[in-house]
Amino acid sequence: MKNKSWERDAKVTLYQLEVFLAVVKTGSFTKAGDLLFASQSGISHIIAGLEKELGVLLFTRNRDGVKLTETGKQISVHAREIVNQTEQIHQLAAEAIGIQSGTIRIGAFPSFSINVIPGIFQAFRKQYPGVELLLFEGSYAEIESWIKASAIDLGFLSNSCDGLEIMQLVRDPLVVVLPTTHPLSKNEVISIEQLEHEPFLLLNSGCESLVISAFQEKALILNTQFEIAENSTIISMVEAGFGVTIVPSMILPVNPENVVVKQLNPPIIREIGLALRSQQIVTPIVDVFIKETQKLLAEI
């Protein structure tokens, strides 16, 4: 008879992996407990059990919270894949019995979250009320990394990314924003040649490469005075007379006050698309979300 004394009775459970990923996400046993409606001691006990089962240390503990060990970082990648694959199994089973359910994790940058996401989510939930939509807001770089790490299912981006598929959805023209007293404020349209040497405020939100490239292509000087990360801040600084800027039209308030907005000629366009690792491996409900989003934005 085969000696089975070496085999363990315990096994790694899906819930242990979900708790593990919650701690990774929050960086704290207490916050992970809040996320999962469990006590801090309960979370600590589950992680200790997982570490004992695997025979490795997953986290280092200190006063500031917890931090993944190198082994923990490697295991987190596989744990996330297991949890995501399990979610796909549940969704496929739900599809088989005619029930639309599951969770879709979606990344978006701030201006898109404010102006477009509410309409997409509202329309989708009317048709699929059983599907949970989770929004993760971040920069272009963060969204790209989240998709590649399978932390989210898909994300809205405005640039192509190595290793990801992107489906173009929306064209967002960049516009010139001027103080109301600026001499160019009376022009119908403005060229970037007219902005050479003007004190310039550069929006560092991911689309600044479009502006910089437009100036470089015509060998023009971009007289950058300030680099600003927040959409509202750059509009306020134009209003205060610190300079002029070129920004995506989507970031502007509905009725901007104390500034003048002008079209560019020739235009500079920010292309916004839906990015994911591969259309070949998406779950059925994610595929439905993609198709519904394409249909909705095509009508705008």
Per-residue confidence at 37, pLDDT binned at 50, 70, 90?
low
Cβ atoms within 10 Å of 74's Cβ, excluding its own: 12
Per-residue confidence at 12, pLDDT binned at 50, 70, 90?
confident
Name the β-bridge partners of 135: 106
Q: Cα separation of 20 and 53, whole Å?
A: 13
What's the rounded mean pLDDT across residues 10-28? Answer: 87
Question: Can you give the pTM of this predicted structure?
Answer: 0.65
Output DSSP code: residue 248.
E
Give the residue from 86, 93, 89 showing the smallest Cα distance to 16: 86
Q: Cα separation of 31 and 202, whole Å?
A: 37
Give the residue from 16, 14, 42 showing the smallest Cα distance to 29: 42
Inter-residue contact 152 to 107 (CB < 8 Å): yes
Give the residue from 198, 205, 206 showing the smallest Cα distance to 182: 198
Cis ω on the peptide bond leading into residue 199 (within 30° of 0)? Answer: no
Per-residue confidence at 4, pLDDT binned at 50, 70, 90?
very low
Which comes out higher in pLDDT, residue 164 or 280? 164
Per-residue confidence at 83, pLDDT binned at 50, 70, 90?
confident
What's the rounded mean pLDDT across residues 46-69? Answer: 90
Q: Residue written as tokens 């598929």?
A: 165
Q: What is the DSSP string of 219-246?
A: T----EEEEE--HHHHHHHHHTTS-BEE
Measured in degrees and rounded to the nearest 5, phi and psi for residue 225 equal -100, -40
Measured in degrees and rounded to the nearest 5, phi and psi for residue 82 equal -65, -45
Q: Give the pLDDT confidence score for residue 204 in this predicted structure.
A: 87
Q: Which residues contact 188 (CB under 8 A, 6 or more apart)?
A: 262, 263
Per-residue confidence at 98, pLDDT binned at 50, 70, 90?
low
264-288: b or e for each residue (b if 16 or more CB lie within 10 Å)? beeebebebbbbbbeeeebbebbeb
Q: Give the pLDDT confidence score for residue 252 in this predicted structure.
A: 87
Cα-based distances in Å from 94 to 11, 100, 101, 133, 209 = 27, 6, 7, 17, 44
Q: Give the pLDDT confidence score for residue 1 in this predicted structure.
A: 40
For 226-275, what is each residue's pLDDT tens digit?
999 888 899 999 999 999 999 999 888 767 778 999 999 999 999 999 99
Using the predicted structure, report yes or no on whether residue 55 has a pLDDT greater than 90. yes
Domains parsed from the chain with CATH numbers: 14-74 (1.10.10.10), 81-169+272-298 (3.40.190.10), 170-269 (3.40.190.290)
Percent of the chain having pLDDT more than 90? 49
Cβ atoms within 10 Å of 125's Cβ, excluding its own: 13
